[in-house]
A and B are shown apart, each in its own frame.
Chain A
């Protein structure tokens, strides 16, 4: 606890947080500002942009699923198949419920 304050004072932390907020805002506006230079979007760029959500979200999903352990991996695979039939909130509850059970079993 005290070690945090050893490096930074209270005001410095508050200012650091503001800077991090501005960095976040810059990344969130950056793609638009860059893209606004194009008048017409070429087909390959369009295809690339269409791929953005799946590509980014894959990188958020995969590493935790593969590295966390067998219980997490099983829960993710089952949840993945459940997505074909169930709405998102049901999949989340099923996945978390299954994970808790698997962890209790010692996986």
Chain B
């Protein structure tokens, strides 16, 4: 009897925990609903303006689910260049996702293989940002659950497709996105995410080096390479600081075994 009761209690609290995780995922999407919907709508509008059909526009959002590369697709494709150069441009813009997936690897390592594949499909800038933030908030004591990850990811995916469809359907409604500042939501959003990381070690040197490198590369090689190369310079800075910091620690420890 008592074991039965205990099992029942365990089942209830497990279900409670699942619901709590799902709600956390949805809650973390709330502040992002407006920017996601705005950019999805703008993509839909821009895609229609570029000559794609409504169906093709929605298909792009379903198959890619990557805001920046979808805009690159529209832009590069419009030039009528060979397909391989469209593929390369999208790869370059998406190169940062290799860095994202390396960074979240240890946080979602416990997902089953198929779920892992699906979670990589959903690994947008925003998904990456909320996973990092949640991990940071709990100082790594609380694992990123499958329920949390997919509650945020699937809701965001559906929102993105819905917004794309609305943008495509009412393509001519937003005549000038710049007039209401819609063209500048993403930089400001990324800025708020960036400032959220300011407590991390090496924050200032990493940001400064990345910023200088990104601006230099954008002026020389041009977009989208400033993203990958700029970021790699900042990451190299953190690695070099870690190497020299490790040396300092060994000196301070005086003869203690190297870590």
- Mark A residues whose CB is within 8 Å of B: 1-8, 10, 12-14, 16-21, 23-25, 27-32, 34-36, 41, 43-68, 72, 75-76, 79-80, 83-84, 87-89, 91-92, 95-97, 99-100, 103
* A76 lies within 8 A of B188 (CB): yes
Q: Looking at chain A's contact residues, is the secondary structure mostly helix, strand, loop, or mixed?
A: helix
**B42: CB under 8 A from chain A?**
no
Which 7 interchain pairs have the tightest Cβ spacing? A55-B234, A31-B102, A51-B238, A47-B242, A31-B101, A21-B63, A83-B195
* B242 lies within 8 A of A32 (CB): no
Given A32-B102, A32-B120, A52-B231, check contact A57 B190 (CB 8 Å): yes
* A13 lies within 8 A of B56 (CB): yes
- Mark B residues whose CB is within 8 Å of A: 31, 34-35, 50-53, 56, 59-60, 63-66, 69, 73, 77-78, 80, 83, 86-87, 90-91, 94-106, 116-117, 120-121, 123, 125, 128-129, 132, 178-182, 184-197, 200-203, 206-207, 209-211, 213-215, 218, 223, 226-227, 230-239, 241-243, 246, 259
Instruction: Specify which chain B residues have a CB less than 8 angstroms from the CB of A25 in the assembled complex.
Output: 120-121
Option from A7, A67, A88 in Cβ contact (under 8 Å) with B31: A88
Q: Looking at chain B's contact residues, is the secondary structure mostly helix, strand, loop, or mixed?
A: helix
- Nearest to B191 among chain A residues (CB) is A61
Instruction: Specify which chain B residues have a CB less than 8 angstroms from the CB of A80 in the assembled complex.
Output: 191, 195
Question: In the bound complex, how far is the Cα of B98 from the Cα of A75, in angstroms?
Answer: 31
Given A36-B105, A61-B187, A96-B181, check contact A54 B210 (CB 8 Å): yes
Given A13-B52, A59-B214, A88-B192, check contact A43 B246 (CB 8 Å): yes
Option from A31, A66, A83, A96 in Cβ contact (under 8 Å) with B99: A31
